[in-house]
Structure 1
Amino acid sequence: MSLLPESQQPLVSVIIPTYNRPEYLKLAITSAIKQTYQNIEIIISDNCSSENIQALVASFGDSRIKFWRHQQNVGMLANQQYGFKIARGKYCASLHDDDIWNEDFLSKLIPPLEANPDLIIAFCDQYIIDAQGKINNIGTEQNTRAFKRHKLAKGIHQPFYKIGLIDKSIPTAAACVIRNDFVDWDSIPSEVDGMWDLYLTYLCCISGHGAYYHPERLTQYRAHAQTDTMLSGGRDLQAKIRKAKSEMFCYQVFMEDTHLKEFKNYFQQKWLEANTTLGIGLLRSEQIAEARPYFWQALNKQKFNPRTVAALGLSFTPRFLASKLIKTSK
């Protein structure tokens, strides 16, 4: 599909939320500016960084860049949503401050959306890079296979409940373009927190519109110590607790949605797993009384689960012994 002349190209809003990562941010902005698709606005929403982000942004001297700095830290979700809410483009795309787009990212994802007005989203595959920006070839292939994009056919998928919410093939936070007026950005509740990208995928899925998959790797997702997915994986206990709460909220919503009734058992299982994960997080933070109800809730609604039973047992173990055992729990 060929692009229209630049004067006729629809505006695309590039949303870059940022917080205290100026060196990475510089690379992200550069990758947006260098897009071969040029009719863009770049919205940088700074979550009250202690670093002088505004000076860095100004150094680019690009009139397409719009900068906003929150006067206090409003949290990751609110910072992200601010950019979406003020976006003027026909399409919008999220670019995290530590990620990078290939120069042809937009030029390859916009044409399918323009050609088919019933599409709500177009997405691609992605590379995994390390903190220094080196491509992790093994990690990249593992990522593609983990989210089943290696089996996903190029082209239109409609409906796309399974690839969006079960396989989680759509990297909504870093490698997609969304038709702006098809999404009510105010309908994303604060409870989704760090799971906002999955919830956004959900909104796209239930819209009734289609998705387009372009199988090339057109973005670079940076996996490093400060990545939210790394933190929630156990390096930061509070991040783990927040993620579990977000998962419980999302899967509860999905379970109750009649659009998704064929997947209700799957979402219920994920909700139960999140209960146990939250309980373990509270247990590790020595909030024992608060942890137990989540274990009981999980056990009452599923068959015997060794992970949940073991965690519940630990909550009744003397603290000096339990503290050693809990450290090995996931």
Structure 2
Amino acid sequence: MDVYFSVVIPLYNKEAYVAKTLNSVLNQTYRNFEVIIVNDCSTDNSLDVVKAARDHRIKIIEHSENKGLSASRNTGINAATHLYIAFLDADDYWDSTYLETIRNLVKEYPEESVFATHYRENYNDKFFVPKSKLPSNTKVKSVVINDFFKINLGRLILTQSCIVVHKSVFKKTGYYNEDVTFAEDIDFYIRCFSDYNLAFHTQHLCTILCHDPNSITRNSNSKKIYPKLEEYLSGSDRQKKFINFYFYCFCQKLKGERKFEEMKILRKKIDLKFLNFTQRILLLSPLFVYRPVVVFKKILKSFGIELNSY
């Protein structure tokens, strides 16, 4: 029995990017798929760009009101006619062999339910491949990761644009949390990988656009609603460490936005034993110390050098 994919693309004001995104799907070497575009009340010409493609594999669903990224993904999941759901944000794109590679992963690891490949990032047309904690054995191209939280502490080896999930997973773990507008992917990963392994291919077959002004939350909501990760602290120590790391990241984000009261409330939830020395120092540092660190990291990034606290 062959593998069929439903490709879910949430769409909100991506007129400048969605044609490239859609073409990267339609030009896949593996052809057994449908494309579900969920238009979340775009106010630009994004929908016209999609309609111009005129491909019978494209199904368009329009929300009557703006609901956000998580709701758009959930709409796509419920509309999918195939068992394997592939997600792609409307400003990212796949290499032509992406679905073929995922299909081969499904065949190689038929007992698994979640699949992904590595990715590259596009910063102003400069491309970077994030470092991962996977063993650097170039002969091994695919692997099953049974400790997601260990491998993904710090830099994630996947994004929402290079993950494929069997439809049955959502019945067990739940759908995307529609009350969350920031880091909704982290909320889903914790629930998903508490129960499932990840079948992973080490090639970077997806490109993620960074620094797009419309991509800060990937939807139209200006107010960030963070996931309540403390609800998942009953898991393993590695899961707790993963969660505390994101508490730390959220605190630093709030600090940079001068939301000091919110930051202080969140900081009280952090168990410092799960942070390293550098993270503890940065967590407690005032904004006038922290901000130059962020600027310095961005400068290094422009030269292809990645500096981090993990």
Classify the TM-score, shorter chain: 0.7 to 0.9
Relative to structure 1, the CA distance from residue 327 to residue 27 in structure 2 (aligned partners, 3 Å threshold; closer, same or farther) is same
The answer on 1:60 being equivalent to 2:53 is yes
Structure 1 unaligned spans of 5+: 1-7, 232-237, 284-290, 315-324
Partner secondary structure for residue 201 of structure 1 = helix
Q: What CA deviation, in whole Å up to 9, does each residue of 1:87-119 have, x standing for no partner?
A: 121111111111111111000111221332321
Q: Which residue of 2 aligns with 1:292?
A: 261
Shift of the alpha carbon at 1:66?
Answer: 0.3
1:242-281 correspondence runs (5 A): 242=224, 245-246=225-226, 249-250=228-229, 252-254=230-232, 256-258=233-235, 260-265=236-241, 267-268=243-244, 270-271=246-247, 274-275=250-251, 277-278=253-254, 281=257
The answer on 1:228 being equivalent to 2:215 is yes
Partner secondary structure for residue 121 of structure 2 = strand
Partner secondary structure for residue 217 of structure 1 = strand
C-alpha distance in 1 between matches for 2:231 and 2:269 = 20
Report the number of matched residues: 283
Query: Which amino acid is the alignment partner of residue 244 of structure 2?
Result: Q
Relative to structure 1, the CA distance from residue 201 to residue 266 in structure 2 (aligned partners, 3 Å threshold; closer, same or farther) is closer
Q: Which residue of 2 aligns with 1:320?
A: none
Relative to structure 1, the CA distance from residue 172 to residue 221 in structure 2 (aligned partners, 3 Å threshold; closer, same or farther) is closer
Structure 2 unaligned spans of 5+: 273-279, 295-310
Structure 1 length as normaliser, TM-score?
Answer: 0.72
Query: Is the CA contact 1:148–1:169 (under 8 Å) kept in the aligned structure 2?
Result: no
Q: What CA deviation, in whole Å up to 9, does each residue of 1:163-203 have, x standing for no partner?
A: 24x24533231112222222237443234323122223223
Relative to structure 1, the CA distance from residue 122 to residue 293 in structure 2 (aligned partners, 3 Å threshold; closer, same or farther) is closer
Structure 2 length as normaliser, TM-score?
Answer: 0.76
Shift of the alpha carbon at 1:65?
Answer: 0.5
Structure number with the bigger relative contact order (C-alpha 8 A, sep ≥ 6) is 2
Q: Could you tell me the percent identity over the aligned residues?
A: 19
CA RMSD of aligned residues (A): 3.5
Relative to structure 1, the CA distance from residue 114 to residue 296 in structure 2 (aligned partners, 3 Å threshold; closer, same or farther) is closer
Query: Which amino acid is the alignment partner of residue 105 of structure 1?
Result: Y
C-alpha distance in 1 between matches for 2:46 and 2:98 = 25
Query: Is the CA contact 1:101–1:220 (under 8 Å) kept in the aligned structure 2?
Result: yes
Relative to structure 1, the CA distance from residue 203 to residue 40 in structure 2 (aligned partners, 3 Å threshold; closer, same or farther) is same
Relative to structure 1, the CA distance from residue 108 to residue 280 in structure 2 (aligned partners, 3 Å threshold; closer, same or farther) is closer
Relative to structure 1, the CA distance from residue 308 to residue 24 in structure 2 (aligned partners, 3 Å threshold; closer, same or farther) is same
Q: Which residue of 2 aligns with 1:180?
A: 167
Higher helix fraction (1 or 2) = 1
Shift of the alpha carbon at 1:33?
Answer: 0.7
